[in-house]
Amino acid sequence: QIKMRSNRMNIQTDGLYVLPATNVDQVIEQAQSLKPSLVIIDSIQTMFDESVSSEPGSVAQIRECTRRLLEHAKSSNIPMILSGHVTKGGDIAGPRIMEHMVDVVLHMEGDPVSAWRLLRSVKNRFGSTNEVGVFEMTSSGLKEVEDPSAAFIAERGTESIGSVVIATLEGTRPLLAEVQALTSASMLPTPRRVSSGMDFNRMLLVCAVLGRRAGVNVGGQDIVVNVTGGLHVSEPASDLGVALTIASSARDVPLSPGLAAVGEVGLSGEVRSVPQLDRRIAEADRLGLNRIIVPARQWDKNAKSKSIEVVPASTLRQALQAALPRAQARS
C-alpha cells in the first residue's frame, strides 16, 4: 500500500525510511541510529510501551508513548509529527492530556465531495493559531493553493441571480467565497430550508430578518443556500451576503458579478461591524471586484479604497436598495 501511494505521488528519494513497528522502544532506537531530519508516527494510537500493562490505544499507553517520543524529540532536536485518530465530532481520540503535552495541534478539515482541504492550527506554543493553510487534493497528493480566493470564485457565471461573493476570514487570512441561494414556491405544508457550507441556524435568522425587517417575504418558499467549493463558513460576517442572495433569488433580479458583501445582520435589521474589514476590502480589490457593501458604522468615508467602490449600509434594507436597484424600480 505504501509503495502504491509513493508511486502515485511520484516520490523518488533515498532519504525516506519506513519502519513497520509499533513498539515505541524500536522507534526511538531507530531514530537515534538514523538521526533523521523528521520523524512521523502514524498513528500514536497504535504505539505501545512494554512497561505499561494495557492495550495499545488506551489512555495509559497514549500518555506514556507520547511522553517518551516527546522526550526524544526534545533531547535530539528532531521534529516529530504524531498522526492521531479523531472522533465523529472532530476531536482527537484519546486522552486530552496528549494535546497538552505536545507543542502544536493541527486539524485537517475537508468535505468528502470537495478537493479542498484546510489545515488549521488549534494550538501553537511558538506562534499564532490564527492561521490556516489551503490545499487541493490531486491525483499526486496534496498541493498548496497559492491563491485560494481566486480558486473559490473562479467558476462564477455572469448571470448572478442568487449569487454573490462574500469576504470571510479563515484565521487571519481573508478569503473570498461564492454564496448561492435558490428559492421556489413550496409544495409542502412546511417549506424546506437547506444549508450547505454555512450554519443552518444563521440561515434561519437571516430569513426571519428578511421577512420582518426588509419586506422580503420568503415564508412560503423552499430555500437552498450553498457555499461553493465545499468551503464551510461559520462567521456571522457572511450574513449580509446570504441575505442578498436569498432576496435576489426571491425577486428574480441578478446581482452584479463584481459585487461583494460583508456584514453581520442583527435581529433589528441593522448591519453590524465585522473584524478586519480593511483586509477583506483589500482582498476583494485584489481579485478585481468593483463594488463591496460594508457596515456603515465601520467605514471611514475619508479612507482610500483604491479601485473598488465601497458602499456603506446601516440596515439590511439599505443594502438591498444598493444591491438590487432594479427590484426597487420594479416595485
- Amino acid 88: pLDDT: 63
> What is the C-alpha to C-alpha distance for residues 209 and 215, in angstroms, rounded to an integer?
9
State the pLDDT at residue 90: 59
Q: Are 258 and 290 spatial neighbours (Cβ–Cβ below 8 Å)?
A: yes
Q: What is the pLDDT of residue 172?
A: 81
And the C-alpha cell for 92? Answer: 482527537
Tens place of pLDDT per residue across the chain (331 aa):
888 888 888 888 888 999 999 999 999 999 999 999 999 999 898 999 999 999 998 889 999 999 999 999 999 999 999 998 777 665 665 667 788 899 999 988 877 777 888 888 889 999 888 778 889 988 888 899 989 999 889 888 777 899 999 999 987 889 999 999 999 999 999 999 999 999 999 999 999 999 999 999 999 999 999 998 878 898 999 999 999 999 999 999 999 889 999 999 999 999 999 999 999 999 999 999 999 999 999 987 656 666 899 999 999 999 999 999 765 534 4
The domain ranges of the chain are 2-146, 151-323
pLDDT value of position 331: 43
CATH class, 151-323 region: alpha beta
SS3 readout for 102-121 = CCEEEEEECCCCCCEEEEEE
Q: Rounded distance, CA 122 to CA 99, Å?
A: 10
What CA–CA distance (Å, rounded) separates 331 from 326?
9
pLDDT score at 261: 97
Comparing CA positions, the residue from 284, 296, 286, 283 lying closest to residue 322 is: 296
In this structure, which topology does domain 2-146 adopt according to CATH? Answer: Rossmann fold (3.40.50)
Coil vs helix vs strand at 281: helix
